[in-house]
Structure 1
Amino acid sequence: MSQQTEQTERPARRQRAMTVNTLFVTGMLSLTPLALSSPASAQALGYASAPLSAFPSDDAAATPDDSAEGAAGARVLPERLRRTTVALNTDEAPGTVIIDTGNTTLYYVLGQGRAIRYGVGVGREGFTWSGVQTITNKAEWPDWHPPAQMIARQPYLPRFMAGGPGNPLGARAMYLGSSDYRIHGTNDPTTIGKFVSSGCIRLTNEDVTDLFGRVSVGTKVVVLPKNAAHLAARPIAGGEVASVTPQPRAEVTTPPSGRRAVNLSMSSLY
């Protein structure tokens, strides 16, 4: 190649190299905003997943640990309200439930002068009652439908609450006749031994589960007046009661249409 030809092509080669470099730099600069974009911008563009905390958990559907909860409730109860076998003279047949309202205790009659005593919470002033009822239904982790009278007094109440650890009816419920009254558990064991409810009889979740396993539909329930003489029951030496073998736990239900159950622990609701 002649010296004149080489001198003519050198500027052309330099021009082509500069053009290629310019195009490369321009392309890299156009990609920089995507590489430096914030997580929020990335989510807006749809190529980053949202954090798990963006989706609230449904605590109402959590699997409850009734054994642990019940044991914790039992530890805070005074001696007279703890489940135990006692000597009790009564004419009621074995299998009968007797509720000593004024003494906030419930007895399950065993026969032969013995009964199992449980501590209970009962109706507050103006909501105590007495009489004879029959257990007409039993439910595990029951749903709660507040009765019309209660809604009239407390219109802010939900019309439905799914069964579960946040439900005021607790782990088990035994329905009394055709009334709105129930023997049921509670998520607030500190109310045992007190006059707090709207007429229902409540036990700790551990105790109500034990009683639930002993009674059946058709069991007689005797509720004594608040001012009646207390039943003369006395503890038996070594009379601690073994728990009934728990029945299979029903699946915790959730409200329809994806609604979440509200955790209400106010003691006067039920």
Structure 2
Amino acid sequence: MKWKTMAAMSLTALALAGCYSGVRVPDPKLSARDAEFLALAPKAQISSEFDRYLVDYKTNEPVGSIVVDSRAHFLYYVMPGGKAIRYGVATGQEAMGWTGRAYVGAMQEWPRWIPPKDMLERWPHLQPTADAGGLPGGPDNPLGSRALYLYQNGKDSLYRIHGTNEPEKIGQAVSSGCIRMRDIDAIDLYSRVKVGTQVVVL
């Protein structure tokens, strides 16, 4: 009976290893401002599946590019040797989801948030925020710690990869089309990319 129990435990361990294959990537080094703002930012427990991992990843996209799997709620930063850093993300609601190719046209740390026109049409109560020039960067800002501005054909697509003040929604389809990350993950990704980085949203 004892060997059956041990066998069952071994199978369970193998199953879990399959679900969470990969190596956890350490947190990035933080500036004084990052540490101060992150200490004040909203906190949430999320499934460990959406933590930051170095994983095996096969793709035809070049090293240094970003691939977003909207359905699975993962963002991959392509590394050499058939590897990628995988981050859990929140993606667009089905009716607002965006797919296609773009590139990072601009980057900002703790960016100011100005409600876009389509959002103001849905939620007029945000108009005073827009009239005031937007919300300054900080721990309560919807864009969170970092923003990567996605461009197509030299023009701002109005879609972003950014941090979030709602970390509990990582792993869900809840946004207006942007890709949301935990603030610490947005900081990590930001440190790896540059203007011109290619982005594919599946």
Q: Alpha carbons of 1:134 and 1:72: their partners in 2 closer, same or farther (altered >3 Å)? A: same
Which one has a larger percent strand, Structure 1 or Structure 2? 2
Residue 165 (structure 1) aligned with residue 143 (structure 2): no
Match of 2:196 among 215, 218, 234: 218
1:64 and 1:208 map into 2 onto residues whose CA distance is 14
Letter in 1 for 2:65: T
Cα distance, 1:65 vs. partner?
2.6
Structure 2 unaligned spans of 5+ = 1-32
Q: Distance in 1 between matches of 2:69 and 2:103?
A: 16
How many residues are aligned here? 161
C-alpha deviation, 1:84, in angstroms:
0.5
Please give the TM-score of this superposition, normalised by the length of structure 2: 0.75
- 1:145 & 1:164 partners in 2: Cα distance? 13
1:253 is aligned to none
- Cα offset, 1:189, TM superposition: 0.9
Judging changes above 3 Å, is the alpha-carbon distance between structure 1 residues 100 and 164 closer, same or farther for their aligned structure 2 residues? same
Unaligned runs of 5+ in 1: 1-61, 225-270
- In the TM superposition, 1:111-122 aligns within 5 A as 111-122=80-91
The residue number in structure 2 matching 1:205 is 183
Runs of 4+ in structure 1 deviating by more than 6 angstroms, as ranges, are: none
Larger radius of gyration: 1
1:256 is aligned to none
Asked if residue 145 in structure 1 is aligned to residue 114 in structure 2, the reply is: yes
In structure 2, the partner of 1:174 is 148
Q: CA deviation at 1:67?
A: 4.8
1:140 CA drift (Å)? 0.5
- The alpha carbon displacement at 1:148 in A equals 1.1
Distance 2:65 2:40 in 1: 27
Which one of the candidate residues 88, 93, 104 is aligned to 2:57? 88
d(CA) in 2 for partners of 1:64, 1:169: 17
Question: What SS does the aligned partner of 1:216 have?
Answer: coil
**What TM-score, normalized to structure 1?**
0.57
Distance in 2, Cα, partners of 1:70 & 1:114: 31
Question: Compared with structure 1, are the counterparts of its residues 112 and 215 closer, same or farther at alpha carbon in structure 2 (3 Å cutoff)?
Answer: same
Contact 1:119 1:193 in 2 (8 A): yes
How far did 1:126 drift? 0.4
Equivalent position of 1:79 in the other structure: 48
Residue 91 of structure 2 contacts residue 179 of structure 2 at CA under 8 Å; is this kept in 1? yes
Cα distance, 1:145 vs. partner?
A: 1.2
Letter of the structure 1 residue corresponding to residue 92 of structure 2: G
- Identity across the alignment (%): 45
Provide the residue aligned with 1:107 in structure 2. 76
Q: How does 1:215-254 map to 2 (within 5 A)?
A: 215-224=193-202
Q: CA deviation at 1:223?
A: 0.1
- Aligned CA RMSD, in angstroms, stands at 1.9
